[in-house]
Structures are given as structure tokens and as C-alpha cells.
Structure 1
Amino acid sequence: MTDTQITPDPVGTQLFATMPFAAELGIEVLDCGPELVRSRLQWRENLCTLGGSMHGGALMSLADATAAVCAFLNLPAGKQGTTTVESKTNFVRALRSGHATATATPLHPGRSFIVVETEIRDDAGKLVAKVTQTQAVL
């Protein structure tokens, strides 16, 4: 992926707007639907740790917000929201430029818990992190 112009997804933009921290980070919505939610975060110096690598907390925040929207879109009928109860991240490589792009897919859209898997990749498509997250249905 390059620095091409992105047309924001209106539904996804509304859902991400409910999370002020995601807006503060500058997360952009790319695709948004029950089977796949995709967003990205641009590398910035103020989001880095030593050596110019994007901070793990910034990457985890990207994954958490993306997975939360995916879980919300998979809510059982009559339910109103979710909250993260568990998140496990494996960092595979550093991201030192470009964008971190998160792709979240539902693994288990259950009645009490929704499990979502999120991959974060760099602009070359290389895996940066893999996240498995459990959201409690509220």
C-alpha cells in the first residue's frame, strides 16, 4: 500500500468516531463490514520508541479499535455494545515508516463473547503484529 488518497468509509468513520482516542491517534478507516474491518495508522515520530519504531502501544491501540468495530458489527440481535476483556499480541517486526494497516476478522461471533483476529501489516504487506482479542457482549 502506498500514500494513495483514501475515501473514508462513512459507517466505519462513524463507529471509530465513538472512540475519541482512536481519533486522537489519527486512525483512518479503509473498509468496514461484519466480515472485515480495515484501518490504518500513519507512522509519526511522536508514536515511536527507541530507534524510530512505532510504539507497541500505538499498534495495540490500532488493533483494539479495529477489532472493537468488527465485534460491534457482529453483535447478536438486541445487544448494544462490547468491551475488550482480553487481548494477546505477537509483535513480529518493527514499523519504521509508512503505515500500519490493521485487518480484523471475526473468529467467533458468539452470544456472550466475540473473538476477533487482527493482523497488522506494513506498506509492503509484511506482517508486523498478530492480535487475538476477546470482546464481551454487553
Structure 2
Amino acid sequence: MEPRPAAGPHTGSYAGDVTPQLALQWVQAGEAVLVDVRTDAEREWVGFVPGAVAVAWKQWPGMAMNPDFDAQVRQAAGGKKIVLLCRSGVRSIAAAKRATELGLEAYNILEGFEGDPDAHAHRGQHGGWRHHALPWRQN
């Protein structure tokens, strides 16, 4: 598996998009750090990836920007490429773009943690980290 170049209006604005499976391979091989950009509430209530570094892009309530994102994501990278995870793969694109502006090699994880909504607007059945049975936990 290879990363896909960033597509559409995001072309060239971050390193590319990777499947959840490729992101896990890179992390397990020590090539990348998984950065979870979801809110603290999402990780607490929905679930989290063990070993992922929590660096919220926006914070609940109100979805205000995390003023410490730049410093936290630089520290999380520790000189490695980063793979960014959110709920559906939207906020992680914005976070990947910002991380790239900071000089990091940043990839968006396609499908996010929960995947796309189904016909009933429920997530978890169409793609996503959990749907692919990759490592995750719930409190």
C-alpha cells in the first residue's frame, strides 16, 4: 500500500492520504506517530487508539481552535512523520495542512475513526478505524 497524494483543493497542501491499515503499519514499524485530533470528549465517549498522541484540533464545547495545537503537534512528531486521525477524515485534513505548514511530514487517515454515515446517518458501518477492526479501546 502506498499513500495517495492529497487530492482536489488540498493538492500539495499536505503529504497525502493513507488508509487506516497503512497508518497502523507505519506506526507499528516506528516510522510514524499517530496523532488523534478529535476532541477530548470524542476520545472519552466514543473510543481511542492505544498509543495515539491526543492533540485536539478543536475543543468541545464550542469547537474552539486549540491554541496550543502547533506546539503540541511538533512535540508529538518527535522528528517522525505523522498520521492524523479524526472522526471522519475532515478535521484531520485541516490539521495535516497546518502541520505541513509547520514543516512536518503529515498524512490524513482516510475514513477517520468512525467512517462515513450510512443511510440512517449512523457511523461505524462504512469504513473507519473501528470498522476495520484495528486496535482501539473504550473507557
Fold match (TM-score > 0.5) = no
| TM-score class normalised by the smaller sequence | under 0.3
